Structure 1
């Protein structure tokens, strides 16, 4: 799996800074669903209306989750002796000859209730790695109360000869990424605050077995991660900022296990390394327009001067990911049509490459990290879309075969097809003439789309693609007649590195204009209307949404934002906040460049609020969020509420439109990415970014139905 495209692992480094918990009550409506009440609740009869309707949607969401509970599991790890899987109780293993799995690692044993301020049910297994001969297993567990994870190193026992399945050897705290170099040596990075800068080596053969530091990058704007090549022979240390990178190699077949530099950091150079035979396959932004291309280099001298181009995509094709599978380089690409494809380059004879389109419904393609026993000549893929449940495919580049795993007996036929939903790929023209992709979903039985409610999703930051994984919440909305639109505005990575660069720093307003054009042209094409339209976004995606609400509040009726980053100017002005220095590569430095300050001030959601009729807003914030400050969200809610109050007071009671509602929903015991536990997920949202699923919660659905004036869906008999 390309560490370049996911260099932040399962966490997306979105908008970051710690908060001071505000205990004052702003004039906005507050809904606090947690067991305690650190913020007083403002009495508002509308909250009771949401609560009553929320019960209806909670039942529907439970049924939807239950319907898709047995989706094919991407967490399966195939060892030579055992198959490993992750369940709600912990990590299970099963002998290849057995049908029933045994609990190998109990979450309650590793993470007892009350520790770190978390309840047992709120812990989740995050990542699992098995050593080559399966002597040891390492896994990280994360509590929803904090972002840092703990890593447990387990010595596996033979179940046939010993009573205990496993023995916990070490518990390592604040671990982010980790990989086995061999059966006895584990390399891992530690997360300090919101950054990873150091790599450690744990040698289980050493008498003291004390972790030893092997690498550190002191630059404040880099993030360090370890990754293992697909063939298991090379471990890489990836030190990346948002604009450049540096990679060190560790040959795990040698006894020294000392890092060797590939290419020192150069301004603007981003690259990722994979291993093939006695050389390296490199994905770097050395192509035309500083886009990605594939190159080869010898392992003996891998610096930039020895890089030889192997494959350069044509301008309308965007490289999304890279894997080396046997003798082939397999690239996930986005084609001119907007669909995904696999482009295969034979490394021994690059001119014999070919491209294989993925199914038209596929919007998300994830490759599975191979286990010790997985065949190296095939690539395991998980394809999905917001409307189509994830489906497992096996790709064999040598035979040019893309095979779907047969559906298990008893699986509903609709699950494999998703045929009752329509997927459309459109383009809209932005203000400067740029064509912006939009992916549209609706039910076949939706009828007249002009009367259908529309929920638009947007992000547009850090060069990251908009999350388009399957979620039961999105599927439920489609079944209820909604239209879902995913706007791939500039600032994201859907159309390559240039797509991101066009909406960085002083160009951020381009993303706002793209979002505005998407709404206007969707309505002009007869898809919904402003009174039946809503926008959903999280974290940095709140920036273009908040800016649009300030300039064009009439385009939508409601907005739902999770962990919204709304104080761009205040955060970028304060260099003492965590990761502000790094984030200036994305937003600009208003302390050093007056033009950056003017640019940020022109769109910052918090600093452009004006008396007018805003859309209704549901703002969800998390009490343990170290990335978006709670006080910034509270200030935003206060100012919007005050602006609405001023606007309607100036009308002197004249007959006018209904006043919007601003609801701040503070969730306890969850970090920037929300809760892990299913019951908490139902309270607000499903798992998001980085790894992550985007979905509407029962409360969000109740809010949207109420604010858009929709009839509550009837219960089926």
Structure 2
């Protein structure tokens, strides 16, 4: 067998709260060090050497993904002003093409065979922009209110620093205005003369909002600077196009400022009482009032409104409920759309201005339903997305007046896919403290819980992010080989309401890890997985979960796939100079200043807790230009596993031209996923 790379050990002691520890692989943080790059390349060669026998399976899986995909296709057009907007994909091309056609009536145009629609106007072809680059990402795509101008921003490195440009949609020519180093998002003024955008500080925190006047070659005026290092800021235009909202958020607190969109050079006004620690607020505009969602004295949030001319007065529309988490509210001229969560499932509620509220109902036992793109303020239709573990992503228009659901498109799955050939269900594991943990499960109909099937168990469990049941044509490459797929809805996510999140963060973070182990044990005890056929998978904060459960229960897993994994959590959160660290203190705690948090994080951080025991095979996947989770985290983790643990093998695969989301083109992404799935199937004995 090929010998693995051995990272040199360099003493790097640090002392916190009287605790002195050594970090022998800290040098791997330096991407400018030729030794670091050489080490990453050696790791890639080692990984390819140990997985080369899977090349045929990778090609087979890639072909399966490709053959299930209608490569020339288009999204269901959405209405904005006098146009229908949509995105097309073309066979053989990596990226989307953004288009529009003139609107003729309120019904979306017929989609045909997925090729260009009659009268199509191409706004932006990502393939042309990406030509000659190994990576491409679009961070801003925003058409002005009058439909005449397009603001767009591009990234060719994966570091999420974008170049902002503007296009005259009448002539198809870019304007001379170019702004470097912008962040995601932005907002047009009502007239389209101004565009507001955000930039980040040295820790990658969006902290400044700027105002650009088109055609102005001077320095852009700075509109707002967020000085509190725990907060980030952004700006958006209301759906009514009447107000600009400048928002500052930390993980637990938010503050909103507003300005009439027709007065872009005016001063923003703080809404209501302003910033109050622990109070989160989101806002939309409707007529003479602002619609406000907040958690002041209400863990699962309440919905209300406040007059535009006096934002200190508040009136309630939906009271707090212990069993229902209100997640968002969107205001339209004649109704409000609320997205909520109850019993672990997403839902949609309509609040007409002049009638009783009603929920949109769905029949499957597990599913995901949420509003999608609805830019029109005056409309009687709601565009929503629906999918489940067996139902492909389906786009509906919901008639507000009649309650009728109109299916506009279900994402095609080629190759004879039939939902009835598969089964989905919700199981419940029991955690050590007695908490019931939901698990969403899908498998082929001919797979039974007899303890013989392999299982891939996925988890995340942070930031109140809910991993809702979703359809994946890619996943069929597992299911059709007899694999059971399961999502562990562990605490730290938001699936069961705000308390689910609170009980899986800060000094309760270990619940996330023990919940996942309980779910793994349930899948085996319930017969959904063979004891030696269970593989775990997670990414980013879910990669922290992978590292933690591997330390907790290494004998439970036949393999662990950790993608862009946050496995060096303690060292990262101790360093305020690193991207996002101070912001993250509200999620993980502040180990730099709080000795209790330091001791707690040290007791679970994966890198710190590698032991001299047998670990399962591990595949860690990362990207050199990742600004969210540094490539050094999995690099250090794998080095320590090799030096101190037994078992394995421990593999590190680094994309040298990518960011947090991996490779950018769809074919590149399919190749990357085929690599991961082939490794997973090999660990299950299915290669």
Task: State the TM bucket, normalised to the shorter chain.
Answer: 0.7 to 0.9
The yes-or-no answer on 1:172 pairing with 2:174 is no
* 2:683 match: 707
In the alignment, the residues of structure 2 paired with residue 567 and residue 683 of structure 1 have an alpha-carbon distance, to the nearest angstrom, of 27
Kept in 2: contact 1:187–1:199 (CA 8 A): yes
DSSP-derived class of the 1:511 partner: helix
Aligned to 1:333: 340
CA distance in 1, matches of 2:464, 2:627: 22
**Are 2:148 and 1:135 equivalent residues in the alignment?**
yes
**Deviation (angstroms), 1:71:** 6.2
The 5-angstrom pairing of residues 228-239 of structure 1 reads: 228-239=237-248
Identify the residue that residue 590 of structure 1 maps to in structure 2.
591
Q: How much has 1:26 moved relative to structure 2?
A: 12
Say whether 1:625 aligns with 2:626.
yes
Partners of 1:128 and 1:44 in 2: how far apart? 38
CA distance in 2, matches of 1:600, 1:354: 45
457-466 or 255-264, which moves further after superposition? Answer: 255-264
In 2: Cα distance, 1:623 partner to 1:663 partner? 16
Per-residue deviation, 1:276: 1.4
Cα distance in 2, alignment partners of residues 201 and 297 from structure 1: 28
Q: SS of the counterpart of 1:628?
A: coil
Aligned to 1:670: 658
Q: Please state whether the residue corresponding to 1:629 is helix, strand or coil.
A: coil
User: How do 1:550-629 and structure 2 match up within 5 A?
Assistant: 550-629=551-630
Match of residue 651 from structure 1:
none
Which residue number corresponds to residue 352 of structure 2? 346
What is the CA-CA distance between 1:267 and the residue it aligns to? 0.7
SS of the counterpart of 1:500? helix
Q: What SS does the corresponding residue of 1:176 show, helix, strand or coil?
A: coil
Aligned partners of 2:366 and 2:426 also within 8 Å: no
**Structure 1: 5+ residue runs without aligned partners?**
1-16, 158-163, 646-658, 685-696, 713-717
Q: What is the CA deviation profile of residues 560-602 of structure 1, one whole-angstrom value per residue up to 9, with x for unaligned ones?
A: 0111111112122222222212211111122222211121111
Contact 2:239 2:375 in 1 (8 A): no
What is the CA–CA distance in structure 1 between the aligned matches of 2:370 and 2:677, rounded to whole Å?
Answer: 29
Instruction: Report the Cα offset of residue 671 of structure 1.
Output: 0.8
- More off after superposition, 399-408 vs 591-600: 399-408
Asked whether 1:461 is paired with 2:474, we answer no
Distance in 2, matches of 1:671 and 1:43, equals 20
Aligned to 1:424: 425
Deviation string, structure 1 residues 346-404 (Cα, Å, up to 9, x no partner): 3456xx222222342663334333346x8523221122235432110112333333322
- Cα distance in 1 for partners of 2:159, 2:353 equals 44
- Paired position in structure 1 for 2:326: 319
Q: Superposed, which structure 2 residues align to 1:193-232 within 5 Å?
A: 193=202, 194-204=204-214, 208=217, 211-232=220-241
Q: Does the alignment pair 1:94 with 2:101?
A: yes
Q: Are 1:394 and 2:397 an aligned pair?
A: yes
CA distance in 1 between counterparts of 2:61 and 2:381 reads: 42
The alpha-carbon distance between structure 1 residues 682 and 486, as it changes in their structure 2 partners (threshold 3 A), is same
| CA 1:680–1:487: 2 relative to 1, 3 Å | same
Q: Secondary structure of the equivalent of 2:532?
A: helix
Q: Distance in 2 between matches of 1:123 and 1:177?
A: 17
Q: Secondary structure at the match of 2:466?
A: coil
Q: TM-score, normalised by structure 1?
A: 0.82
* Residue in structure 1 matched with residue 249 of structure 2 by the alignment: 240
Contact between 1:368 and 1:382, CA under 8 Å: does it hold in 2? yes
Correspondence 1:432-511 to 2 at 5 A = 432-448=433-449, 450-466=451-467, 468-511=469-512
Name the residue aligned to 1:643.
Answer: 644
Q: For residues 352-431 of structure 1, what are the structure 2 equivalents within 5 Å?
A: 352-360=356-364, 363-371=367-375, 376-405=379-408, 418-431=419-432
Counterpart of 1:528 in 2: which secondary structure? coil
Range 99-108 or range 277-286, more displaced: 99-108
Q: Compared with structure 1, are the counterparts of its residues 138 and 212 closer, same or farther at alpha carbon in structure 2 (3 Å cutoff)?
A: same
CA RMSD, 1 decimal: 3.0
Residue number in structure 1 paired with 2:8: none
Cα distance in 2, alignment partners of residues 54 and 26 from structure 1: 26
Select the residue among 105, 110, 113 that pairs with 2:124: 105
Q: How many residues align?
A: 639
Q: Deviations over 1:92-120 (max 9, x none)?
A: 3434576153433344775663xxxx44x
CA–CA distance in structure 1, aligned partners of residues 614 and 99 of structure 2: 54
Structure 1 position 272 matched with structure 2 position 278: no
In the superposition, relative to structure 1, how do residues 554 and 208 fare at CA in structure 2: closer, same or farther (>3 Å)?
closer
Distance 2:628 2:277 in 1: 27
Aligned-partner SS, 2:662: coil
Match of 2:649 among 642, 661, 666: 661
- Secondary structure of 1:603's counterpart equals coil
2:75 paired residue number: 73
User: Quick one: structure 1 residues 403 and 96, their matched pair in 2 at CA, closer, same or farther if it must change by over 3 Å?
Assistant: closer
Residue pair 1:138, 1:151 contacting (<8 A) in 2 also: yes
Q: Please show how residues 17-96 of structure 1 align to structure 2 within 5 Å.
A: 19-21=29-31, 37=41, 41-42=45-46, 46-64=50-68, 66-67=69-70, 69=71, 73=75, 78-81=80-83, 83-85=85-87, 87=89, 88=95, 90-96=97-103
Cα shift at 1:79: 4.3
CA contact (8 A) 2:44 2:652 kept: no
Q: Counterparts of 1:600 and 1:344 in 2: how far apart (Å)?
A: 43
**SS at structure 2 position matched to 1:450:** coil
The answer to whether the 8 Å contact 1:72/1:390 transfers is no
Secondary structure, aligned partner of 2:474: helix
Task: Give, in whole Å, the separation in 2 of the partners of 1:61 and 1:102.
Answer: 30
Change in CA separation of 1:495 and 1:60 when aligned onto 2, cut-off 3 Å: same
Q: Once the two structures are superposed, what CA deviation does each residue of 1:599-632 show, in whole Å capped at 9, x if it has no partner?
A: 1111111111111211111100111112222233
CA contact (8 A) 1:128 1:137 kept: yes
- Whole-Å separation in 1 of the counterparts to 2:76 and 2:229: 34
From the superposition, tell whether residues 250 and 414 of structure 1 become closer, same or farther in structure 2 (CA, over 3 Å): farther
Query: For 1:491 and 1:510, how far apart are their aligned partners in 2?
Result: 8
Q: Give the drift of 1:168.
A: 2.9
